[in-house]
Every structure is written in structure tokens, then in C-alpha cells.
Amino acid sequence: MSAIKFRGVDFIEFDSLLSDDERLVRDTTRKFIEDNLVPIIEECNRAGRFPRELVKPMGDLGFYGASLKGYGCAEMSNVEYGLVMQELERGDSGVRSFVSVQSALVMYPIYAFGSDEQKNAWLPALQKGDKLGCFGLTEPGFGSNPGGMLTRARKDGNDYVLNGDKMWITSGTIADVAVIWAKVEEEDNKIRGFLVETDRPGFSAQDVHGKWSLRASVTSGLSLQDVRVPACNLLPKSDGLKSALMCLNQARYGIAWGGIGAAMSCYDCALQYSLLRKQFRDQPIASHQLIQEKLAWMITEITKAQLLALQVGRLKDEGKVGHQHISMAKRNNVWMALECARLAREILGANGVADDYPIMRHMMNLESVKTYEGTQDIHALIIGAAVTGVDAF
């Protein structure tokens, strides 16, 4: 458990911009993280262990599919959902990733593209945490260019037969169902989504070992060898790669808020440490100009990120958000968080690399968060295309 307890970060009365319900959701999530995740996360990170014991309690609090309507979901606003993601990632990026995948990459595609039968069969169980899911888009040879995927689905009578491999899949080995994206041979290789129960013959998942990042999260590779699923497992409203990218947009939005949480954790830890640590003339290092410059940069960038995420969330609640807005928020806020982690590590000196403090864990996690769900470069091109009207891909 960290030697320093989080106190909250609000430089410009950001809380005054939130409604009572939004603050309640944020504070409830914050208390859950402080009471349940913070005391165990460093042990989980050391052991490379996902805290499975928190799955059901998070379901009880409505974290899964929180912004969806019906099926037992909490029906939060997008801003409320974002604040949940902020607090989860303040605890740990791996735990936020798990909730993001369950919500945005498994429940959302079933909700948006599934049949009524699929929704009724899966969404209530996924919302409670009784069933877990994963999202299979990325492949060993195709990350930023998912449209080049090699996974294929072939119609055979009343079934589809799937073959292919997926990589860097959160929750792959603990999932009950995988949302697999594949090119359908009979539809001129159009990309469609399939619900694949993970106990079907020919489906296998293997954990990725040796990670220095997201160690409290399950990361897997998936293999599909002649996996046969009934035609009713096709997500009927999935319509090309754009459907998969719509799911990623939901996840990227949550990441934009999550980055703020990680940055808050690093900043608040560094600020408190700087007031306690004494050096030169028995003065706290917070009295030094160079330390204050680092802290000033961090709180300024966190504040800007808060306002960016809040405006994108408001636009999303009004149905006005564009994918370019979400790309800007994800790109800026994760970059900002990683820089905050690095500056915080500098302020803590050698202590910054010890897991008595959360700094190094956040830094290593954020290196992955900066890459997944669209790299910094890909999001730059999305923004560039939006402002110039010219696609540079």
C-alpha cells in the first residue's frame, strides 16, 4: 500500500462544473478504489495477478456497461462513466482496462449490433460480472491497420467456421465469450463481429507472460482453429470495420478520463512527498524553484485535461461528439499522464522506482495505454484529417 494517501486534485474548482450526481458517482468510485484496490494493488503488480476478487463487487456498483440503457445497467451519463474510469485508473490502469473491455468492447457491441436474443442472453450476466468477455480485433501482424486482418469466417450450412489468431487481448483467458472480428468470405471479405463462446472446440487462449506493464491485468493471445459457431452468433448489425472502430471509440473515451486519474495519483504523491522530503539547509524540496516548476507543469496539464475530457463528455451526452474529439482527448491526456509520471519520479528521486509509491507502476502502465486503442501517431493522423480534410493514412 502506498506510503502517501491520495487527497484529491482540483486546482480551479473543477468540482463546481459537475452535477451532484456526477460528484456522487466519482466519490463512490473513489471510496471503492481506496478501500479495496489501493491496499492490494502493489502486491498484485509484483505477482502479476489480476484481482479477480473485485470483479463481482464492481458489478454490484454498476461499473460494467454503466452508460448503457436497460439490462440491469446503471444508465449513467457519459460524464459519470468517465469519472468512474478516472478513479479506476487512479487505482491501476489494468483494472480500468478490464472494466473498459467488459463495458465498451464487449457489452457495447452486443448492445449496438446484437439481436434481441443476444442482448437478453449476455448483457444482464455481463453487467453483473457473472460472465466475462474479451474483444478480438488486433492480430499478431495487424495492430494500427486492423483492416488487414487475416482471421476468416466461412459459411457452412447453418454455421460459420472461424480461423485466425488474435493478440494483446485483455481478459482472453478468463473470458466466457469473445467478440471476434473476422472477414466473411461469402460477403466479399466484409468484416463482421461474432460472439464466440470460449469453451467451443478449436478455441484456445494463452496468457502473455513477461510483461513489465499492466501486470495486474490479464493479457492473452487467442487462437481459432476451425471454430464452429451457429449463424445466430453473428452480430447482425455489424457492418464492416467501422463497427469495430465504433467500439474502440467508446473505449478511447474512457481512456481519456483514465489518464487523468493516473496523472492525479502521480501528481498528488509527488506534491505530498516534496513537502515532507528535506534537502539542503533542512528545507523541504517543495521550496526549491525547480521542484515547483515541475509541480506547476503537472497541475496545469491535469487541469487542461480535465476540461478537455469534460467537454468531450458533455458533447457525447448531447450526441454531438466526433471521433476526432475523442482522439484528441485520448492522445493528449495519456501523453500528459505519462509526462506527469516521469516528472513525479524525478521529484521522488530513487524512491520513485520503489513500489512504496505508485509512480513507477503508473509509468509502466501508461507506456501501454499510450499505444493501445490507437497509438499517439494514429490519433495525430485522425486529428490531422479532421482539420485539413486530407486523409494521410
- Which fold, 14-128? Butyryl-Coa Dehydrogenase, subunit A; domain 1 (1.10.540)
Query: 326, 373 in Cβ contact below 8 A?
Result: no
Percent of the chain scoring above 70 in pLDDT: 99
State mean pLDDT over 33-48.
Answer: 97
pLDDT of residue 4: 82
Q: What is the architecture of the domain spanning 242-388?
A: Up-down Bundle (1.20)
* Residue 2 pLDDT level (bands cut at 50, 70, 90): low
Which residue type is seen at 24? L
State mean pLDDT over 26-36.
Answer: 98
Residue 50 has pLDDT above 90, yes or no: yes
Query: 152, 164 in Cβ contact below 8 A?
Result: yes
Close Cβ partners of 240 (under 8 Å, ≥ 6 residues apart): 190, 191, 192
Close Cβ partners of 18 (under 8 Å, ≥ 6 residues apart): 26, 79, 83
| From 87, 139, 301, 373, active-site residue | 373
Any idea where the domains of the chain sit in the sequence?
A: 14-128, 133-238, 242-388
pLDDT of residue 206: 98
- Which fold, 133-238? Butyryl-CoA Dehydrogenase, subunit A; domain 2 (2.40.110)
State mean pLDDT over 252-265.
Answer: 98
SS3 assignment, position 239: coil
Give residue-wise pLDDT tens across range 110-160: 999 999 999 999 999 999 999 999 999 999 999 999 999 999 999 999 999
pLDDT of residue 393: 82
* pLDDT mean across residues, the chain: 97
Residue 3 has pLDDT above 80, yes or no: no
**339 among known catalytic residues:** no
For strand 177-184 and strand 152-156, is the pairing parallel, antiparallel, or unpaired?
parallel
